[in-house]
Structure formats: structure tokens, C-alpha cells
Amino acid sequence: MANYLRPRELSEALAALASGPHRILAGGTDHFPARVESAPDETLLDISGLAELRGIEVTPRHFRIGAGVTWADLIRAELPACFDGLKLAAREVGGMQIQNAGTIAGNLCNASPAADGLPNLLVLDAAVDLASAEGRRRLPVGEFVAGNRRTLRRPEELVTAILVPRAVEDARSTFLKLGARKYLVISIVMVAACLDVERDRVRSARIAVGACSEVACRLPALEQALAGRALGPSLGAAVEPEHLAPLAPIDDIRASAAYRRQAALVLVRRALDGLGAAW
């Protein structure tokens, strides 16, 4: 028999999680479509009533994106250019109804290989804050997502926020997504890129590709190759096929592995050409 709780205080939510298994529900846009063929038989803990999870806060060291922040909230927020890539992703997550209900934290916790949020959070060097009745801890996003639909969240923990370090504040970012059509589509490949720049040259680069491995991944060899390069509309010419070695794409109904690998190469080059020309 299903049960439903909608606490108003974080302490109540954590007490519920400590008392036994609960399925956390944020916007429900991943949760409900996965259950259309079966009656709910789990206890739902709806966190949408927790005011303290709403809002984006700027602290001395971080941009703190509460776990209740939706894609639409993010689009409306005034944020520096390092968030441009995440905002581009937000505008392509489903339609407006999905963007109004779905949260960035839900996208991360669902840990789909095709989640559009993760590559952007990887290039922002983001971390997640987790809370339980026992205490709090923080994990880098790249560690938190451990596999296809697997995270390091313990059953009694709630993700309370995503943290983006102020250290990346002056960087510029972009995001490109390839699907079978323009809107309402699951990604075949997506690319997030973020550059720190000093005197018309790349000081440091962070590049991540999604939907081409179990978990979206950064491309460290490419990031190193880009350091010190002059900016310009041909920055993407620095990308060699070997730089994509960490990818392990699969054949599925959306695309073959070979197509994904080729598309990733093209998208990474395009993303860098675009960022290189933007300064």
C-alpha cells in the first residue's frame, strides 16, 4: 500500500528517511513516467514543500542551488556567464511544463546517462550537499554519480543543494545537444564546455560529454591540450579523435556507437569554435 508524506521542515523529511525506506519525490518528471504500468507501492516523500530547498544563494565561496530549484527557476535567475551552458540545457529539458516542475537535483539523482544536467555540472566543478538525521556531507558531482541510475546517496540521505564554486565565476560556458529532432528529445550526444581565459588565451578548459558512456565524463587530455591556446573561431581545430578516448558509446535505438563517437567529435569542435569566437 502506497503512502505519501509532504513535510514542511527539512528535519521532518530527514526523520522520515531515518525511519525507513522512502522514495524521494521532487518534480516527479522522472519518477512518474517510469511507473505508468504499475500501481505505486512505495512510501513517497514529496520534498516540494520544503522552503529551505528553494532558491539560488550566492555565498562567499559558492553558488548554492537548492535541491528544489527547477529548470525554469534557473532560466529566470541572474547568474554569471559560467552558467550559460547549464541555462542552454535548461531551455531544452522537455517543454515548459517539465521545466516548471523538474529540478536540477532530480536530474542528477536520477543518474540517467542521457541527463542533460550532468555534463554542465561536471564542467562547473560542482558538488552536492547531502543531509541525513546523522549529519551532512559533500561530494563532487563526478563522484556522486557512480553509474547508470546509481549514485552514492545513502537511503537515509537527501540531496539538499548543488554547489558551484565561485572560483569558476569568470569562466564562460556553452552546451550543445544532439537529438533526433530539436525539442522534446532524449540526447544522442551532448557536450558541455567551460573556459577560463587570460589575455586572449585559454588558461584552463573543462569539457564533458554525455550520453556516450555510462556516466557523462570529462576529457582530461583535451583539457590539457587546450591550456595556453589562443582564442578564436577555430579553437575546435585543437580537438583530435584520441582526445575522446574516455568515451565508451553504445548502440541503441537512438544511434549507433560509431555515429555517437563521430557526432561527439563534431559537437566538441563546434562548442569550442563557438566559445573561442565569443571573446
Ligand X SMILES: Cc1cc2nc3c(=O)[nH]c(=O)nc-3n(C[C@H](O)[C@H](O)[C@H](O)COP(=O)(O)OP(=O)(O)OC[C@H]3O[C@@H](n4cnc5c(N)ncnc54)[C@H](O)[C@@H]3O)c2cc1C
Contact residues for ligand X (CB under 6 A)? 23-31, 33, 47, 67, 92-94, 98, 101-103, 105-107, 109-110, 115-116, 153, 158-159, 184
**Which residue number, 26 or 197, has a Cβ lying nearer to ligand X?**
26
Residue nearest to ligand X (CB): 106
For 26, 27, 79, 114, 185, the CA distances from 32, given in Å and listed in that order, are 11, 9, 31, 18, 18
**Which residue number, 189 or 226, has a Cβ lying nearer to ligand X?**
189
Shortest Å distance, C-beta 183 to ligand X: 8
Pair 127, 158: CB distance under 8 Å: no
**Which residue number, 193 or 202, has a Cβ lying nearer to ligand X?**
193
Within 10 A of 139 (CB to CB), how many other CB atoms are there?
16
Shortest Å distance, C-beta 49 to ligand X: 13
Q: Identify the H or E element spanning 206.
A: strand 201-210
Shortest Å distance, C-beta 115 to ligand X: 4
Shortest Å distance, C-beta 16 to ligand X: 13
CA atoms within 13 A on the CB side of 130: 20
Shortest Å distance, C-beta 204 to ligand X: 26
The x, y and z cell numbers of residue 241, run together, are 579523435
**Which residue number, 193 or 197, has a Cβ lying nearer to ligand X?**
193
Handedness of CA 155, 160, 162, 167 (dihedral sign): negative
**Which residue number, 119 or 276, has a Cβ lying nearer to ligand X?**
119
Q: Which of 157, 176, 174, 162 lies closest to 278 in space, CA to CA? A: 174
